[in-house]
Amino acid sequence: MHPFLTTAILAAAGSGVAYAAQGIPARNHGKRGVSYNAPEYSMFFSLAGQNSKISWAWNWDSWPHDGYNPALDFVPMLWDDTATSTGPWAQRMPELLKYGTNSLYGFNEPDMCPKGAGGGSCIPVSQAVQAWQQYIQPLKRDGIALVSPFVTNGVEPNMGLNWLTAFIEQCKGCTIDRVQVHWYSQSGQIKYFKEYMQKAYEAAGRRPLEISEWGFDNNPSEEEIKTFFREILPWMDSQDWIYRHAYLAL
């Protein structure tokens, strides 16, 4: 990871010291978020007294884990439909909803197969519909947004927006408040990025769009990454139909 990603690009100033204030600190309200594998990495953002544009985070799991920064809104995810995921999901939801969680995420890249390949959960559309109706739809209530499964930008018949539109069509009686997409390509593909997001927005019935993972599948230079970010971050922030976004950085 380039060293400037968590500073200049994400515009998150911070010393990285452990958060020790009492209660929940004031939270930011911007669109920018972060993905994290270790909860202590979330401490760099939105701490009291910082001028951070980061307001939320997620970690491919349904629990933030000890050491998570309470200044960031945590968004839980049901990674797949196996008991390893659904068991903890059912146990944790009452506490998370009480804590103030206001969005719930569907499955991680169900269009990516085999399971585990590149992080995909590999769930056929019909199976994903059943799991959504069993584990996610019952949690719908005022103030809680249900966000679609996260699809890749793959173009094969059973991938990407093809998978997503099939899911929306087949999930009868399902509430899908927002849709999620992931995007990976080369760092020079600014035009492709914008066009793909607009296409995703239209394909999903003009629902608000979240982009919770995006990054590069080549090995760009630091300057190439800066160029991309300086164009794309303000663009996403300014689009009314893009609800929020998170670069895959941590």
Instruction: Provide the mean pLDDT of the chain.
Output: 87
Percentage of residues in the chain with pLDDT exceeding 90?
Answer: 68
pLDDT digits (tens, 9 = 90+) for 114-166: 887 788 999 999 999 999 999 999 999 989 999 999 999 999 999 999 999 99
Residue 249: the pLDDT is 63
Burial 195-223 (b: 16+ CB within 10 A, else e): ebbeebbebbeebbbbbbbbbbeeebeee
Residue 70 confidence (pLDDT) above 90: no
Amino acid symbol at 219: N
pLDDT at 4: 33
What is the greatest pairwise CA distance in the chain? 51
Range with lowest mean pLDDT among 50-54, 66-70, 133-137, 242-246: 50-54
Q: Minimum mean pLDDT among 82-91, 105-114, 215-224: which range? A: 215-224
pLDDT tens for each residue of 184-203: 999 999 999 999 999 999 99
Superfamily name and number for 27-247: Glycosidases (3.20.20.80)
Alpha-carbon distance of 17 to 2, in angstroms, equals 21
What is the sign of the dihedral through the CA atoms of 121, 113, 178 and 210? positive
